[in-house]
């Protein structure tokens, strides 16, 4: 067989591929880490507004969406946020907890990429960056990867090219295509952690672009309490991004605009301030522009004293379960991640190896495991990369 020989070839030098490479390399495996981009970890660099929300201390399998809710449990239990933090501390990277268990670098996401690259170099990992992969073949128990006309061979191949979100940054469906080529099932993919778009019938809300408030968003039994942001296209902000990962087309999401109000708050307001206008009462708990828009939609105008208790009670119920019917999302161009991907049915939850094709592994976002917003997706990339790296 011609070409260079390795123990493992890893396709994709993102979060998961870097972790798999440094783990296998430090175990003495000869590893080639391949990326078509000219530098590794581009999504790490832009993550968390350039500060990389690299993990979440509340990581647990129920904070991930997958056809198999239990699949991620094993890898997440064996490589925890504390394990990653140990590496971050060893490299002297300053960090802080921002909110809800989200850990960020104090200075720059680049420190995380530099740390992972230094660990790869410690493990003697070979790199091929900036050149396209033109062919991937499998025969006689060996994978042959052709890059720029040169062949590279290994008995193990790791699919780690991530998901379809932000194609402008070089995201591709390469791992999904290769999985299909090797006969692995792929769960229907869709944009997740993505802003919603609203139609013309909701133009009133689109005119609130820039207004933000804390809400509870609900879809089915799933609920998130965080900030929502109105945009000129529709709805964004963490509460909306979180619920978007669960949302199905042509269904409604429910928004509680008054998460802290007692049940009869509006009636108490009427008793306390009868001369106050309805929209003024609302603006005690909501941004003024939003209060005006909601009052307009509820068709409640005038002084509180002129409004019937029954109407106020009804309005408060509506404000607690306000239905929005998004007509879609902003798609992969704006999605933070892809949901769906290579089916967990095809993979070992301990090693991320395919049962059907010996030596083939899949990790990271390419796999049908999608985390909540807030560092969960990187923790899955680290944990699944670690699991594969220990098995290569
Ligand atoms: P990742 O996308 O990191 O890496 C895949 C690699 O494969 C890339 O380097 C790419 O160039 C390469 N590749 C793709 N196609 C290829 C091909 N055909 N040939 C060769 N190489 C190819 N998550 C989180 O936990 N905290 C956060 O703060 C953020 N912030 C954030 C911000 C933004 C704007 C986005 C878009 C995403 C996030 N995320 C996040 C999500 C997080 O970035 C994502 O889940 C992980 O990077 C996934 O890691 P992977 O290694 O699986 O893919």
- Going from the Cα of 55 to the center of ligand 1, the distance in angstroms, rounded, reads 14
Please give the structure tokens belonging to residue 6. 């390795």
3-state secondary structure of 6: coil
Radius of gyration of the chain (CA): 24
Q: Please tell me if the CB atom of residue 172 comes closer than 6 angstroms to any atom of ligand 1.
A: yes
pLDDT per residue as tens, the chain (392 positions) = 568 999 999 999 999 999 999 999 999 999 999 999 999 999 999 999 999 999 999 999 999 999 999 999 999 999 999 999 999 999 999 999 999 999 999 999 999 999 999 999 999 999 999 999 999 999 999 999 999 999 999 999 999 999 999 999 999 999 999 999 999 999 999 999 999 999 999 988 989 999 999 999 999 999 999 999 999 999 999 999 999 999 999 999 999 999 999 999 999 999 999 999 999 999 999 999 999 999 999 999 899 999 999 999 999 999 999 999 999 999 999 999 999 999 999 999 999 999 999 999 999 999 999 999 999 999 999 999 999 999 99
Beta carbon of 18 within 6 Å of any ligand 1 atom: no
Residue indicated by tokens 């940054």? 169
Cα 289 from Cα 280, distance rounded (Å): 11
- List beta partners, residue 97: 103
How many other C-beta atoms lie within 10 A of the C-beta of residue 325? Answer: 13
Burial class (CB in 10 A: 0-12, 13-18, 19+), 43: buried
Which ipTM value was assigned to this complex? 0.99
Query: Which domains does the chain show, CATH number per domain?
Result: 2-190+339-391 (3.50.50.60), 196-329 (2.40.30.10)
Predicted pLDDT of residue 217: 98
What separation in Å is there between the alpha carbon of 154 and the centre of ligand 1? 24
Crossing angle (nearest 10°) for helices 110-122 and 15-26: 30
From the CA of 98, how far away is ligand 1's center (Å)? 22
Q: Does ligand 1 have an atom closer than 6 angstroms to the CB of 35?
A: yes
Quote the strand ranges of 198-273, DSSP E.
212-219, 222-230, 234-236, 253-256
Atom 11 (ligand 1) nearest CA? 37
Which residue has its alpha carbon closest to ligand 1 atom 35?
A: 336
pTM for the whole structure: 0.97
Ligand 1, atom 2: closest residue by C-alpha: 162
Residues 6+ apart with CB under 8 A from 9: 31, 32, 34, 143, 145, 152, 154, 156, 157, 158
133 lines ligand 1 (CB under 6 A): yes
Asked if residue 32 has its Cβ within 6 Å of ligand 1, the reply is no
Nearest CA to ligand 1 atom 21: 35
């Amino acid at each position: 067989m011609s070409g260079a020989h390795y123990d493992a070839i890893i396709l994709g030098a993102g979060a998961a591929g870097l972790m798999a490479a440094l783990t296998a390399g430090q175990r003495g495996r000869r590893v080639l880490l391949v990326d078509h981009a000219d530098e590794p970890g581009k999504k790490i660099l832009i993550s968390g507004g350039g500060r990389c929300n690299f993990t979440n201390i509340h990581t647990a399998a129920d904070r991930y969406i997958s056809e198999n809710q239990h699949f991620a449990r094993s890898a997440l239990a064996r490589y925890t946020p504390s394990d990653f933090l140990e590496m971050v501390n060893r490299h002297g990277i300053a960090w802080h907890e921002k909110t809800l268990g989200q850990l960020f670098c104090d200075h720059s996401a680049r420190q995380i990429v530099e740390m992972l690259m230094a660990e790869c170099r410690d493990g003697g990992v070979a790199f091929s960056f900036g050149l396209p992969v033109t062919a991937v073949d499998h025969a006689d128990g060996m994978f042959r990867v052709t890059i720029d006309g040169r062949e590279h061979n290994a008995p193990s191949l790791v699919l780690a090219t991530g998901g379809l979100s932000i194609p402008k940054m070089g995201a591709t469906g390469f791992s999904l295509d290769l999985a299909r080529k090797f006969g692995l099932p792929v769960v229907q993919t869709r944009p997740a952690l993505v802003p919603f778009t609203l139609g013309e019938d909701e133009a009133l809300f689109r005119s609130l672009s820039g207004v933000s408030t804390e809400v509870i968003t609900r879809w089915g039994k799933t609920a998130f309490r965080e900030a929502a942001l109105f945009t000129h296209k529709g709805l964004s902000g963490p509460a909306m991004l979180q619920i978007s990962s669960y949302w199905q087309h042509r269904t409604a999401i429910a928004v509680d605009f008054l998460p802290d109000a007692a049940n009869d708050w509006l009636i108490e307001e009427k008793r306390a301030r009868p001369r106050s206008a309805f929209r003024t009462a609302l603006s005690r708990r909501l941004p003024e522009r939003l209060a005006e828009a909601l009052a307009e939609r509820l068709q409640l105008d005038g002084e509180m004293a002129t409004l019937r208790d029954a109407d106020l009670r009804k309005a408060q119920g509506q404000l607690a379960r306000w239905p929005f019917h998004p007509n879609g999302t902003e798609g992969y161009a704006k999605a933070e991640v892809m949901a769906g991907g290579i089916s967990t049915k095809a993979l070992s939850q301990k090693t991320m190896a395919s049962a059907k094709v010996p030596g083939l592994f899949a990790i990271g976002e390419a796999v049908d495991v999608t985390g909540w917003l807030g560092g969960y997706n990187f923790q899955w990339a680290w944990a699944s990369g670690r699991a594969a790296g220990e098995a290569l």
